[in-house]
Structure formats: C-alpha cells, structure tokens
Amino acid sequence: MARPDIISLRGLAAGLIAAAFFIGPTVSARADQMTYYSPGDPMFDGFTARCDMPVVYRSTWHGSLAEHDDAGRPVIVLDLSLRLPARRFQRNFLLAHECAHHLLGHTSPDAVAMRRTHGAVVAAQEKAADCWAAQFLGQLGRDDEAKAMAEFFYRRGTGLPGGGYPSGADRSTLIQHCWSAAKKQRLASALSSFQPDSGTRLFD
C-alpha cells in the first residue's frame, strides 16, 4: 500500500478516530432534534451544485450520517465538533461521503435493511461512498480533503473495525486511487481546453 502524501491533520483529533469507521446511512432522523444549516455555517464551493440537501449538526458518536427527516427529505448529519474550522478537511470529505450515500441509493429502505443484515453490503456501500467523495473533491480541485482522509484511514492500519466496515488501510488505498484518477482527468481536461492567444510564445 502506497503511503499518501503527509499533510497537516490538525483537524483530525482523536475524538473521532473510532467514529470515523462507522459513518453511513440510517433510515430517519427526528426533525425536532435538528439544527439546520444556515448560510453562516462552513460549506465548500461546489457542494450544493451536486448535493442539494440540508446539512444538520447534532451530537452523534457516528461522526456523520446520511438520514431522512420526518418529511422524508434526505439530510446529512454531522457531529457538532465538525463545525470547528480546524476540522475543515474531515468535514468536507464527510459531507461528500454522506451525499454519496444518498445519491447512490444507500439510504433507501431496502438498502438500509440489506446493510443491517449483510456485512458485505456495508463494505460495498462504504467503499462506493468513499470513492465518490474522493472523485468529487478531486474534480473540484479540493485535493487536500481527499489526501487528509486517506492519511487518516492509513493511520488506522489493516485491522477490521467490525460491523462489516473495511479496514482503514483498504479505505486509504481506495481514496487515493479514486482521487488520483479524478485529479488526472481534471488536469487533462484543463490542458485540452487551454487556448494560448496568438501572442503567447510557448517555446523560445
């Protein structure tokens, strides 16, 4: 397994080490327990264009969740600690990860029921959401978030956390692969669309 580039992980405090393994979809959330996202809360450019759903902050040991509220609307739940500016890298990846669970159909009643009884479904869903999030961030040029989470999971090693969740090492490798592919595509697209003006000398 290739070791990802090391960057500052000041925002990835130990309080969410265990919880980060257990991010995933659930069926419903109590609307009266939610504090909905407001324009003053931290959010990254490009998120709402793909993930037009409320973001909820409440205390949860899961760290982050993909849920539906009482009205059946998809919402993303983040732990209150993720509002801290120092948690930006982790927050942005988890926003994309939970958005992926919704967009990939992991929060449908049937998918949630399968997740509860089949460990292989949990692993497949988590890997798919990790890859989607890494690709999404890579497409936006938000490489630091993907690199930070790859490093975070790398530090968790090869042990299985239980519940069907993949090991940190497996998730780290997958995030690196998916992010790298998206980054290469982004750079290739930028290069192909580059049109120097007639006065530009590319070579002396």
Domain presence at residue 203: no
pLDDT at 46: 86
Tell me what pLDDT residue 75 has: 92
Q: How far apart are CA 57 and CA 16, in angstroms?
A: 15
Structural domain of residue 187, as residue ranges?
Answer: 14-192
The answer to whether residue 135 is domain-embedded is: yes
**Helices assigned H by DSSP within the chain:** 47-50, 88-103, 109-117, 119-140, 143-154, 168-192
- Residue 5 resides in a domain: no
pLDDT score at 198:
56
- Tell me if 204 is assigned to some domain: no
Query: Per the domain annotation, does 171 fall within a domain?
Result: yes
State the total domains in the chain.
1
Residue 131 lies in a domain: yes
Establish if 40 belongs to a structural domain. yes
The pTM assigned to this predicted structure is 0.76
**Using one digit for the tens of pLDDT, what is the confidence trace for 107-166?**
999 999 999 888 899 999 999 999 999 999 999 999 999 999 999 999 999 999 888 899
Contacts of 35-42 with C-beta under 8 Å, sequence gap 24+, read: 41/83, 42/83, 42/85, 42/88, 42/91
* Cα–Cα dist 18/25, whole Å: 17
| pLDDT < 70 stretches in the chain | 1-43, 194-204
**According to the model, what pLDDT value does residue 84 have?**
87
Residue 26 has which token pair? Answer: 């659930």
Q: Does residue 9 lie in a domain region?
A: no
Contacts of residue 152, defined as CB under 8 A and 6 or more positions apart, other chains included, come to 9, 12, 20, 90, 168, 172
